[in-house]
Structure 1
Amino acid sequence: MSTDPRTTDLGYPGAAWTYTLLSEPDLSYELARLASTNTHGSTDSVSFQPSPNPECYSQDRYVVQDWNLSTGIWYFHAVFDGHAGEETADYAVQMLPSIVKQHIQGFLDNHIDYSPTSISDVLVNAISSLDNAIAHDLLEIFPDPQALGRLSDAAIRDIINDSDRGSQNIAKVLHCMRGTTVLVSLVDPAKTHLWVASLGDCQAVYGRQDESGGWDAILLSSNHNAAESSEVERIRQEHPDEPECILRHRVLGAIAVTRALGDHEFKLPRVYTERVFLNAAPGFRTQQSVGEFIKRSFTPPYVSNIADVRHLTLDPNSKARACLVMCTDGLMDLSEGDSRDGGTLDISALGKWWLEIIGPVVWTKGTNAALYLLRAALGGADEDKVSQMMTVERTDRWMDDTTILIQRL
């Protein structure tokens, strides 16, 4: 293995960090290891955060499951991009698959057949039910917001900070305080229907390759953040007399995503943030900034738990090959330099570029297409550039968590 030490500024003029230049085959081996490369049936996966600092460990999570339900095998995939901490993402991984599964089976038990719209509604209700349950767990502890005003900070801290007594209450509080985006795909047993449900800014792109090798790309996710004009307009209409409901391209000037699980400091009356969340240990990473944005909270909720669902009809008898790329926004951050138009990220064009990259290898046995796409986004054949991204010696994170699932359909 090459251990040639070099320096890079990673695009920050005047900076200089040491990194190690790796050569093949060690570079590919180390990238596969760091990215936790895996294959689950017909799905390839990677989840990558190269920083060795424990405070920078990845908050991305994903799930790949096959469900043997009454009508046959349903195929469930989900990607979660946690923020402000990993607690809500971990809880979503634990709870959401079983909740969606129960909702789907419950619907099938009571209906002879299903339509695309009916399953879309099931997905929306299942996802929002988890978020409502997260809030309900907290409201069971403090059901009356007015009663909070009569409790001392010391009394509240004693109730919620129960790490020495089983951590049941602090876990419920942290599920509310932290947040995660959600991206879910579901395929029916006949493989004639594909549904994609999204909360936040993870992305899903369906690709269909014809005999000539060309790709048709269809964006199946939404972009729920405060840079998206439709989301900004929705929130402003919901809060017409609050000019700072969107500030500096962020909700209440604080959070970029406009839909998510958790983040109940943007959903519950602000007394819960002022009296409960700010007394939690561990608390927010930036307590002072919370005190600032919560002053703008008058008529919550500001962040929604209602997922957008897109449906696509599939043809299992088609000779054309097809796949679904699902990813957290880290992949967009790595890729966006070649895909901007007038300063606005063109996700559809970016998705087609991803498909063109993986096209030559996605059906090659023994090749992980998700790892191949990650390598291209990091620098491809440029060993120096990829080595920088993998080995630079910084104490903070230098790139966003990046998770990719590629499902062959």
Structure 2
Amino acid sequence: MFSSHASGHPDPNLEDLARSFIRKSTFSNARMTNETSTVYAQFRGTPNEDRFTVSEDWELSDHVWQFIAVFDGHGGSTTADYLAKHFTSHLRRSMELSFSYSPESTPSPNPPELLSTARSRSNDTPVILFTNKNISEFLKRQVRAFDEDLGKAVKEICPNPESLSDKEAHALYEAHKMVIARARCGSTMAGILLDKTERRMWVCCVGDSSVVLSTKSPISDRRKAVLLNQHHTAQSPQEYHRVTMAHPSHERDKIWLDGEERIFGTLSMTRAFGDFMYKFPTSFTATLFSKFPSTAMRSVNRVLSYNRTPPYVISDPFVTFVDLTAFSEDEDPAVIIYSDGLEALASRLSIAAMSKGISDVSGSSGAVPTAVDIIGALLGQPLDLAALPSSLTDIFPNNNAAFNLISNLLDKAIPKKLRAHLESMGNDDGNDDEELYIDDVTVIVFQLFTAP
């Protein structure tokens, strides 16, 4: 869309298309703190169910911390929205309770082994060491606890759903819509917890959103990338086996209908926040969850038909530790956090690479590039805005690697569809045409070193 028209003649619609693209986008200018840089960008699909958070830095026991995450909602945006607004504060409060210590303070409510070993900085002032294992275990507990609270809130207002009449159920739903919606809808999370003081990072993910580490070769300037998390979908043999073995053998054909890699033929994620239709008995779905006007209503009937021994979905996260001190400034290390909409675009290019030539897609040679390879290779590539009128260049963000990555992938992977989508949208953000549907794409790029 941003490149010159194939005929070589000016495109009279290019200005309108560019303005429509910007109206559907959210982005930031580079935000620099403690020599690091963070930018975000989002192309809002129809409907937009992605959310994200880039927290302010906070201090705890002489360390500076930051949490950054993308939340990809499904069945509605309610759970993702709630996570974006509240998960960081939950994490920060829990860290302060678990790891803060002073001689005058009361004992930590957590077991002693969960606190890291103290060392003395002066006579009586202990300093808590945030060990890799302790923070990893802490993150796992907090994800599970946050998700459990979503379900507990429903049980508190409705401990016995099977005893309610339809009129009572409707009244309860009307009085507690948001509580019910947060448990009914679902969301993935791809997040990083940063200890900026010691340049350490914990990756914490639930579902199929991604965290990728991209580095540059100081010799060739080419970038390579590695996926840092595992995806929680039935496409993962480990996840497929885990879900299958957690239920009686006679249920197998009911869990994976017709061999589909979706639970009950509806949900691709095997781990997520929310989605309590798949975690609670069917009485909650019949009485409460079915009343929520979701974007995935087909799943209600499937859950009522096949949910026999819940839970089928859990919230246990994937957590891993990365020592950022291992990377030099010459490698320009960048962490890319994104929803699966970006990977879908890169996958299209990966498939195209087989017929078009690998160098045309990623600038690499050898094996066919994966979606992650393509995302890593395109990071840092500028937009080609030469075809745009000079009056438009000012409305595009400066120095935003996340925006450039989204724009380049959309333009390379689905140029005709993107153009048709923008032409059909005009000033209206609602479009039900499946052929023009584009998934939400949200990207955050964290760079350990800022440009001089």
User: TM-score normalised to the size of structure 1?
Assistant: 0.82
Is the Cα contact below 8 Å between 1:23 and 1:383 reproduced in 2?
no
* Residue of structure 2 in register with 1:207 after alignment: 214
Which of 152, 158, 171 is the aligned partner of 2:171? 158
CA apart distance, 1:142: 1.6
Which of 171, 174, 177 is the aligned partner of 1:170? 177
Is the Cα contact below 8 Å between 2:25 and 2:43 reproduced in 1?
yes
User: In the alignment, does 2:229 pair up with 1:221?
Assistant: yes
* Residue of structure 2 in register with 1:16 after alignment: none
1:102 maps to a residue whose letter is: R
Q: Identify which range, 210-219 or 386-395, moves more after superposition.
A: 386-395
Is the Cα contact below 8 Å between 2:350 and 2:369 reproduced in 1?
no
CA apart distance, 1:254: 1.8
User: In the alignment, does 2:56 pair up with 1:49?
Assistant: no
Identity %: 25
Task: Give the SS at the match of 2:214.
Answer: strand
| In structure 1, distance between residues paired with 2:51 and 2:297 | 26
Is the Cα contact below 8 Å between 1:180 and 1:262 reproduced in 2?
yes
The 1:293/1:348 distance shift into structure 2, 3 A limit, reads farther
| In structure 1, distance between residues paired with 2:12 and 2:275 | 40
2:44 maps to a residue whose letter is: Q
| In structure 2, distance between residues paired with 1:161 and 1:264 | 19
Q: Identify which range, 381-390 or 178-187, moves more after superposition.
A: 381-390
Which of 18, 37, 48 is the aligned partner of 1:58? 48
Which of 292, 315, 318 is the aligned partner of 2:325? 315
Which of 231, 255, 258 is the aligned partner of 2:270? 258
Which of 217, 233, 238 is the aligned partner of 1:230? 238
1:311 maps to a residue whose letter is: F
Is the Cα contact below 8 Å between 1:173 and 1:277 reproduced in 2?
yes
The 1:140/1:239 distance shift into structure 2, 3 A limit, reads same
RMSD: 2.8
CA apart distance, 1:258: 0.8
CA apart distance, 1:289: 4.4
The 1:381/1:334 distance shift into structure 2, 3 A limit, reads closer
Larger Rg: 2
The 1:21/1:97 distance shift into structure 2, 3 A limit, reads farther
Which of 332, 346, 349 is the aligned partner of 2:370? 349
Residue correspondence of structure 1 range 10-25 to structure 2 within 5 A: 22-23=13-14
2:278 maps to a residue whose letter is: F
Residue correspondence of structure 1 range 89-104 to structure 2 within 5 A: 89-104=80-95
CA apart distance, 1:229: 1.5
CA apart distance, 1:104: 2.2
CA apart distance, 1:384: 6.0
The 1:206/1:91 distance shift into structure 2, 3 A limit, reads same
Which of 139, 143, 168 is the aligned partner of 1:127? 143
CA apart distance, 1:235: 0.3
Which of 19, 30, 35 is the aligned partner of 2:25? 35
| In structure 2, distance between residues paired with 1:107 and 1:370 | 34
| In structure 2, distance between residues paired with 1:121 and 1:154 | 44
* Residue of structure 2 in register with 1:376 after alignment: 408
| In structure 2, distance between residues paired with 1:408 and 1:29 | 28
Relative to its length, the structure with more strand (as a share) is: 1
Which of 156, 162, 182 is the aligned partner of 2:189? 182
Task: Give the SS at the match of 2:163.
Answer: coil
* Residue of structure 1 in register with 2:70 after alignment: 79
Is the Cα contact below 8 Å between 1:334 and 1:377 reproduced in 2?
yes
1:67 maps to a residue whose letter is: D
* Residue of structure 2 in register with 1:339 after alignment: 350
* Residue of structure 1 in register with 2:445 after alignment: 406
The 1:35/1:198 distance shift into structure 2, 3 A limit, reads same
Is the Cα contact below 8 Å between 1:181 and 1:260 reproduced in 2?
yes
2:424 maps to a residue whose letter is: V
Task: Give the SS at the match of 1:226.
Answer: coil
